[in-house]
């Protein structure tokens, strides 16, 4: 198992889950794994928001993890795997931790309980109960615009004291909150941004990396933004960022991950752009825009 308190940094990919005719597309998943394991990424997140995890049955989620780990064991570069879990029932979440305890993962990425709008005391009690129970470490996922309630910095700092809570995917949508957390956090509590459009900004503020859907495209460039900043080359990082900044807007023009799946389908990495309801595939208007951008980037690369 990876020591996440020292190695949860850099560029992480929240891998899309390919479907075809309503089923998990195992061939495309194997192709994706081989492709991205050969890129400059530092880990995978499976079954989270970008992976449409809330539409996956337990057996599909288990198969997803097994295939990705099998492909890496078969010769791909081996990187850590985080498993996305979510739920609003603490006792059921503990059962899910038991059900996944022997899966070949490295940690869980767990969002706040959604819909029920717990107090901050409830959030603390929820995550402490899960962290006490889990066989693998936990990373928190703070995304208030999806969960209705955000995790305050006071709550975050208390949870960061737990020995089995190692970091955060930060989608607070508040730079002020993020900067304050980066200033006050324990030195071994890792913070990765999940806001694609704010990647450079977050790294400049001191974030340890990013978990970025957009990095399915131009992966090497997103990785270069991180590495240039790490080496103190702010101007070079800004220049590389300008190569991909527009992608972070384009891929969220309609609900994610449909635009990214369309792009991956058009470029041959997956066999279908299929998403599961209530997600729908991209509109014809966005498809045309994506096609033009794919063609433009292919000409530039040539």
How would you classify the pairing of strands 107-111 and 81-85? parallel
Of 135, 90, 80, 96, the closest CA to residue 112 belongs to 90
Query: Is 299 a residue of the active site?
Result: no
50 is in an annotated binding site: yes
DSSP codes joined into one string, 177-245: HHHHHHHHS-TT-EEEE--GGGHHHHHHHT--EEE-GGGGSSHHHHHHHHHHHHTT-HHHHHHHHHHHH
What residues contact residue 255 under an 8 Å CB cut-off, 6+ apart?
Answer: 279
Mind listing the domains of the chain with CATH numbers?
Answer: 4-241 (3.20.20.70)
pLDDT at 157: 98
Q: Are 37 and 69 in contact, with CB atoms under 8 Å apart?
A: no
Residue with tokens 């369309």: 262
pLDDT at 2: 52
Residue of 36, 141, 199, 226 marked catalytic? 141
Q: At 200, list the tokens.
A: 């450079």
| Triad 274, 277, 282: Cα angle to 5° | 50
Instruction: Please indicate, yes or no, whether the overall pTM of this predicted structure exceeds 0.85.
Output: yes
pLDDT at 109: 98
Residue of 114, 115, 145, 169 marked catalytic? 169
Query: Is 115 a residue of the active site?
Result: no
pLDDT at 301: 81
Please state, in angstroms and rounded to a whole number, the distance separating the CA atoms of residues 282 and 273. Answer: 9
pLDDT at 5: 75
284 is in an annotated binding site: no
Please state, in angstroms and rounded to a whole number, the distance separating the CA atoms of residues 100 and 85. Answer: 10
pLDDT at 1: 46
What residues contact residue 239 under an 8 Å CB cut-off, 6+ apart?
Answer: none
- Could you read off the pLDDT tens digit of each residue along the chain, which spans 302 residues? 457 777 799 999 999 999 999 999 999 999 999 999 999 999 999 999 999 999 999 999 999 999 999 999 997 788 999 999 999 999 999 999 999 999 999 999 999 999 999 999 999 999 999 999 999 999 999 999 888 899 999 999 999 999 999 999 999 999 999 999 999 999 999 999 999 999 999 999 999 999 999 999 999 999 999 999 999 999 999 999 999 999 999 999 999 999 999 999 999 999 999 999 999 999 999 999 999 999 999 988 87
Please state, in angstroms and rounded to a whole number, the distance separating the CA atoms of residues 126 and 120. Answer: 10
């Amino acid at each position: 198992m990876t020591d996440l308190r020292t190695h949860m940094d850099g560029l992480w990919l929240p891998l899309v889950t390919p479907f075809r005719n309503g089923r998990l597309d195992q061939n495309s998943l194997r192709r994706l794994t081989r492709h991205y394991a050969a890129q400059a990424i530092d880990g995978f997140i499976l079954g989270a928001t970008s992976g449409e995890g809330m539409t996956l049955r337990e057996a599909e989620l288990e198969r997803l993890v097994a295939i990705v780990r099998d492909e890496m064991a078969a010769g791909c570069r081996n990187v850590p795997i985080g498993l996305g879990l979510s739920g609003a029932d603490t006792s059921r979440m503990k059962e899910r931790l038991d059900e996944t305890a022997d899966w070949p993962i490295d940690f869980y990425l767990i969002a706040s309980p959604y819909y029920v709008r717990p107090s901050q005391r409830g959030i603390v009690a929820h995550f402490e109960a899960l962290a006490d129970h889990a066989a693998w470490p936990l990373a928190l996922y703070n995304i208030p615009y999806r969960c209705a309630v955000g995790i305050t910095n006071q709550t975050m700092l208390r949870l960061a004291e737990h020995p089995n809570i190692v970091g955060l995917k930060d989608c607070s949508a508040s730079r002020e909150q993020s900067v304050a957390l980066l200033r006050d956090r324990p030195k071994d509590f890792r913070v990765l941004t999940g806001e694609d459009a704010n990647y450079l900004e977050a790294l400049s503020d001191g974030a340890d990396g990013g978990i970025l859907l957009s990095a399915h495209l131009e992966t090497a460039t997103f990785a270069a933004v991180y590495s240039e900043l790490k080496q103190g080359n702010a101007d070079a990082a800004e220049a590389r960022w300008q190569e991909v900044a527009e992608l972070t807007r384009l891929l969220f023009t309609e609900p994610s991950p449909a635009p990214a799946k369309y792009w991956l389908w058009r470029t041959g990495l997956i066999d279908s752009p299929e998403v599961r309801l209530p997600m729908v595939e991209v509109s014809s208007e966005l498809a045309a825009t994506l096609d033009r951008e794919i063609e433009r980037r292919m000409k530039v690369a040539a």
